[in-house]
A and B are shown apart, each in its own frame.
Chain A
Amino acid sequence: MARIVAGVATSHVPAIAAALDLGKSGEPYWKRVFDGYQRSKEWLRKVDPDVIILVYNDHASAFSLEIIPTFALGCAAQFPIADEGWGPRPVPAVKGHPELAAHIAQSLILDEFDLTIVNRMDVDHGLTVPLSLMYGQPKEWPCPVIPLAVNVVQYPPPTGRRCYHLGRAIRKAVESFDQNLRVVVFGTGGMSHQLQGPRAGLINKAFDERFLDAIARDPAALTRISHVEYLREAGSEGIELVMWLVMRGALDDEVEEVHRFYHVPASNTALGHIILENRK
């Protein structure tokens, strides 16, 4: 039986990719960011998962306004790195796990999540920045990744409650897969930030810290945050935090907090990161 052993939440700020790819990770501004992931890298090396399910959002790279799937599960064997306007990031292509992905897709749809199945998809910084933060700069990514793209670009994204329940259904799907695999789920995006309009630059540290506390100990409370509250309190792009709830829904009710990191600023964004482990 496959099982989910842990969850990782992290922001996926594109400037982190630029800092890493252009060799600026040692500069004081960025060193503070990368230092926060030192323990995380060691942790992930020890956990050594067989598969990562990575919840993220596409930023007008694979999906334009032609097709806007709310939940899109990547079922391909390989996902090329997107050219976001200055050439693809110099990182390895992402290998999928088509067999597990197909099983999850089938299980989720029968569980009444009407998701979109994607067999061809370029993946952008939303997916590759979390991998870079957690694995550094390897020649190949150490394990297969199943991308789950969530629409947070066009309002409304799915509700936090829906995301949490999707996480539950993903867990059920993973646990009914007949191979002995250890799976880690990543929830990415956030924390508070706003990239547009005269209110750009909004950061809400108090909101973020409450969110980090609750994602560990009281996720049910987070499922009650309305979309308008996210927009008002965490900024127009802070609503990405609903994706953390997919990860959290896939874990046990009671989890062990392994590591936490919070830092302002990473470009325009409050960077947040937490690692949660199932106890058994």
Chain B
Amino acid sequence: MKPNEYDDIPGTTVFDAQRSRQGYHLNMFCMSLMKAENRAAFKANERAYLDRHPMTGEQKQAVLDRDWNRMISLGGNIYFLAKLFFTDGKSFQYVAAVMTGSSQEEYAQMMLNGGRPPEGNRYAAEWEKKPGRKRG
């Protein structure tokens, strides 16, 4: 497939039509957690509940591991994944911290300090120059 203009934004996965197609069943599994009885069934036996959905093995494993960046890379969308982390009793800020590889305290402090600045964070090439930066 042809690269997209937005592929060179670092640490960012744009949920476009191709990713939506790839992540359809993963996201629809998350959507099913909007119902209390489904949340209960999932919590009772995660693997069995996941096996009721036609997701790939990689997608199921990423869910079991709560590997949020991996779920995103397999077509997950953050608003759908939210149904999963709400089921876990976690917040957007908790998951954002995990995805950036920082502790929740560090992340919250970064936001209090004005957030992640755009300088140095616009192009993938800017990240490649920085050693030790965690990549998704």
Q: How far is the CB of A236 from chain B (nearest CB, A)?
A: 5
Tell me which of A154, A231, A265 contacts B112 (CB under 8 A).
A265
B62 within 8 A of A: no
Are B82 and A85 closer than 8 Å at their CB atoms? yes
State the interface size on chain B (CB cutoff 8 A).
Answer: 53
Chain A residues whose C-beta falls within 8 Å of the C-beta of B110 in the assembled complex? 201
Are A64 and B107 closer than 8 Å at their CB atoms? no
Tell me which residues from 1 to 57 in chain B have a Cβ below 8 Å from any Cβ of chain A: 5-6, 9-17, 20, 24, 27-28, 30-31, 33-34, 39
Chain B residues whose C-beta falls within 8 Å of the C-beta of A268 in the assembled complex? 92-93, 96, 111
B129 within 8 A of A: no
Are A154 and B16 closer than 8 Å at their CB atoms? yes
Q: How far is the CB of A226 from chain B (nearest CB, A)?
A: 8
Are A204 and B118 closer than 8 Å at their CB atoms? yes
Tell me which residues from 213 to 242 in chain A have a Cβ below 8 Å from any Cβ of chain B: 227-228, 231-233, 236-237
A92 within 8 A of B: no
Q: How far is the CB of A126 from chain B (nearest CB, A)?
A: 10
Could you list which residues of chain B lie within 8 angstroms of chain A, going by C-beta atoms?
Answer: 5-6, 9-17, 20, 24, 27-28, 30-31, 33-34, 39, 69, 72, 77-80, 82-83, 86-87, 91-93, 96, 99-101, 107, 110-112, 114-118, 121-123, 133-136
Chain A residues whose C-beta falls within 8 Å of the C-beta of B13 in the assembled complex? 196-197, 236
Tell me which residues from 228 to 261 in chain A have a Cβ below 8 Å from any Cβ of chain B: 228, 231-233, 236-237
Most buried by B among A64, A65, A200, A236: A200
Interchain CA distance A278-B14 in the complex, whole Å: 37
Q: How far is the CB of B37 from chain A (nearest CB, A)?
A: 13
Tell me which of B12, B72, B87, B114 contacts A203 (CB under 8 A).
B114
The 10 closest A-B pairs by CB, nearest first: A203-B115, A199-B11, A198-B11, A85-B86, A265-B111, A200-B96, A155-B16, A196-B78, A201-B116, A60-B79
Are A198 and B99 closer than 8 Å at their CB atoms? yes
Most buried by A among B13, B39, B134: B13
Interchain CA distance A59-B82 in the complex, whole Å: 10
Are A201 and B86 closer than 8 Å at their CB atoms? no
Tell me which of A14, A153, A155, A202 contacts B116 (CB under 8 A).
A202
Interchain CA distance A264-B117 in the complex, whole Å: 12
Q: How far is the CB of B10 from chain A (nearest CB, A)?
A: 6
Tell me which of A60, A203, A227 contacts B83 (CB under 8 A).
A60
Question: Contact string, A39-72, partner B, CB cutoff 8 A, digits 1/0?
Answer: 0000000000000000000011100111000000
A197 and B12 in contact, given A202-B115, A202-B116, A265-B111 (Cβ under 8 angstroms): yes
Interchain CA distance A146-B41 in the complex, whole Å: 37
Are A196 and B99 closer than 8 Å at their CB atoms? yes
Are A231 and B12 closer than 8 Å at their CB atoms? yes
Are A205 and B114 closer than 8 Å at their CB atoms? yes
Are A199 and B17 closer than 8 Å at their CB atoms? no
Are B12 and A64 closer than 8 Å at their CB atoms? no
A194 within 8 A of B: yes
Tell me which of B33, B72, B116 contacts A196 (CB under 8 A).
B72
Interchain CA distance A121-B38 in the complex, whole Å: 21
